[in-house]
């Protein structure tokens, strides 16, 4: 990682990110809306009066952990770069939020200003740029909920700095788009939410999505262990999918691998995996989820 708060940079479109677009299984209308908004950022923002159409170039994805926000943001960046015609290549930049949220007094405000007003502005001056602000609640914490005792004044100032920089950048660089994600929308400052051009909530997968995620995971494992490809087509997969409802996409993908761990023989040769093992892994996950919910009440 760079010392300046950037986790990574990639030229777009990037093959790995492009593949994520299909891997994240969601209502297609949600994907269309996101892509439409991202494209509009590049077709409209430079041409309209900001006072009349106050677009900031910010799209926010919210949802529970494991619902695909980060993956979808990366995929959206790649798809946008494929569909928008520009003279220069798109650059993807991922910000490391925790590197900026330093507790040392005065540092995070300075770090935010340097990153957004310095590094990001310099990139946006020469090429179209899409910036991922993952876990944005750490960067734009709700000032009304921060107690001054528990949070140094610097945290408040960091939010102020983010908002000020967003306003500056929005005015100067219409070829800059921020994709922000959060598990805790209630912890994000209202002024940041107000600047978002589109807020989309990713829900837990529907039964149909659970089916598609199970099948996709089995097919991916089937490239190495061909018998798993047959399980992806089994009629009993539908029943397994129904039982997954309530689990997030990450849990569902992981439980297919976890199903190989109940029986040593299957761990040694994953081709021996059966639907019964998968059912057992689903039950295990549902029980764990139930316990976790109990602990939170």
Ligand X SMILES: Nc1ncnc2c1ncn2[C@@H]1O[C@H](COP(=O)(O)OP(=O)(O)OP(=O)(O)O)[C@@H](O)[C@H]1O
Q: Which one, of 40, 74, 33, 76, lies nearest residue 57 by Cα?
A: 40
Nearest residue to Mg ion, scored by beta-carbon proximity: 70
Our finding on whether 80 is near Mg ion (CB under 5 A) is: no
| Choice from 136, 249, 270, 273 touching ligand X (CB under 6 A) | 249
5-24 residues in contact with ligand X (CB under 6 A) are 23-24
Residue 250 interaction partner, one of ligand X, Mg ion, none, beta carbon < 5-8 Å per kind: ligand X
Residue 253 interaction partner, one of Mg ion, ligand X, none, beta carbon < 5-8 Å per kind: ligand X
Nearer to Mg ion, 227 or 254 (CB): 254
102-141 residues in contact with Mg ion (CB under 5 A) are none
Residue 151 interaction partner, one of ligand X, Mg ion, none, beta carbon < 5-8 Å per kind: none
Kindly write out the interface string for residues 121-160 of this chain, putting x where it contacts ligand X by CB under 6 A and - elsewhere. ----------------------------------------
155-184 residues in contact with ligand X (CB under 6 A) are 181, 183
48-77 residues in contact with ligand X (CB under 6 A) are 63, 65-71
User: Residue 267 contacts by C-beta under 8 Å, 6 or more apart in sequence?
Assistant: 260, 261
Largest CA distance in the chain: 66
CA 48, CA 194: separation in Å to the nearest integer? 19
Element (H, E) at 215: helix 207-222
Q: What burial letters (b/e) apply to 41-79, b meaning 16+ CB within 10 Å?
A: bbeebeeeeeeeeebbbbbbbbbeebbbbbbbbbbbbbb
Q: Which one, of 60, 76, 57, lies nearest residue 14 by Cα?
A: 76
Our finding on whether 70 is near Mg ion (CB under 5 A) is: yes
Map tokens 């007094």 to a residue: 105
Under the rule (CB under 6 A), what is the footprint of ligand X? 23-26, 63, 65-71, 181, 183, 205, 209, 213, 249-250, 253
């Amino acid at each position: 990682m760079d010392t300046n708060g950037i986790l990574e940079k990639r030229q777009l479109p990037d093959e790995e990110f492009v593949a994520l677009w299909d891997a994240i299984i969601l209502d297609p209308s949600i994907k269309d809306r996101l892509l439409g908004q991202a494209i509009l950022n590049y077709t409209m923002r430079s041409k309209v009066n900001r006072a009349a159409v106050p677009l900031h170039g910010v799209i926010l994805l919210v949802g529970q952990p494991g619902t695909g926000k980060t993956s979808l943001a990366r995929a959206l960046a790649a798809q946008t770069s494929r569909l928008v015609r520009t003279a220069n290549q798109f650059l993807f930049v991922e910000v490391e939020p925790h590197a900026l949220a330093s507790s040392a007094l005065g540092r995070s405000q300075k770090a935010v200003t340097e990153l957004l007003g310095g590094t990001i502005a310099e990139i946006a001056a020469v090429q179209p740029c899409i910036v991922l602000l993952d876990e944005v609640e750490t960067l734009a914490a709700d000032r009304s909920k921060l107690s001054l005792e528990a949070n140094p004044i610097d945290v408040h100032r960091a939010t102020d700095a983010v908002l000020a920089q967003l306003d500056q950048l929005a005015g100067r660089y219409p070829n800059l788009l921020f994709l922000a994600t959060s598990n805790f929308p209630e912890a994000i400052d209202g002024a940041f939410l107000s600047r978002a051009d589109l807020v989309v909530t990713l829900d837990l997968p529907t039964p149909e999505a659970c089916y598609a995620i199970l099948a996709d995971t089995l097919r991916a494992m089937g490239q190495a262990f061909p018998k798993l490809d047959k399980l992806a087509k089994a009629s009993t997969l539908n029943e397994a999918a129904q039982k997954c409802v309530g689990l997030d996409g990450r849990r569902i993908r992981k439980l297919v691998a976890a199903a190989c761990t109940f029986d040593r023989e299957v761990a040694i040769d994953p081709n021996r995996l059966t639907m019964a093992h998968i059912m057992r892994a689903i039950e295990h996950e549902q029980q764990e989820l139930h316990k976790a919910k109990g602990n939170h009440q």
